[in-house]
């Protein structure tokens, strides 16, 4: 018996990696470091407590805990409770970097659990 595909609210088209607060990467925009809550290959969510930094298109540097990073450009697609969702323009986050982050998070969770 084959399971039906889920098409309801909350369905995701891409894999996502959600970060606990202590391991969050940062998006550096105009010299400000903003916490990143989750990433996918095509987007990310960013904590924007002042609600004044984002409008339309955003450019910044995404920096991970291990020092890796990349320049990103994103388009604001949603805002909710101090968080902003960015759809990355262009190549997005390379699969190799996304996979490496998954491995890093699994290792950190194993060490802390």
pLDDT of residue 2: 47
Is residue 84's pLDDT more than 70?
yes
Q: Where are the domains of the chain?
A: 16-112
Query: pLDDT tens-digit profile of 3-47?
Result: 444 344 454 456 899 999 999 999 999 899 999 999 999 999 999
Q: Which residue has the tokens 């889920």?
A: 6
Pairing of strands 16-18, 26-29: unpaired
pLDDT of residue 63: 97
CATH number corresponding to 16-112: 2.40.10.220
User: Using an 8 Å Cβ cutoff, are 104 and 96 in contact?
Assistant: no
């Amino acid at each position: 018996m084959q399971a039906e595909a889920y098409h309801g609210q909350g369905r995701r088209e891409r894999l996502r990696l959600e970060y606990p607060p202590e391991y969050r990467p940062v998006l550096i925009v105009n010299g400000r470091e903003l916490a990143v809550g989750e990433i996918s290959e095509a987007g990310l969510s960013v904590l924007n407590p002042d609600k004044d930094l984002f409008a339309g298109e955003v450019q910044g540097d995404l920096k991970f805990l291990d020092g890796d990073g990349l320049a990103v450009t994103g388009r604001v697609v949603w805002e909710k409770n101090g968080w902003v969702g960015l759809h990355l323009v262009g190549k997005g986050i390379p699969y190799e970097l996304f996979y490496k982050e998954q491995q890093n998070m699994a290792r950190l969770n194993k060490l802390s659990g």
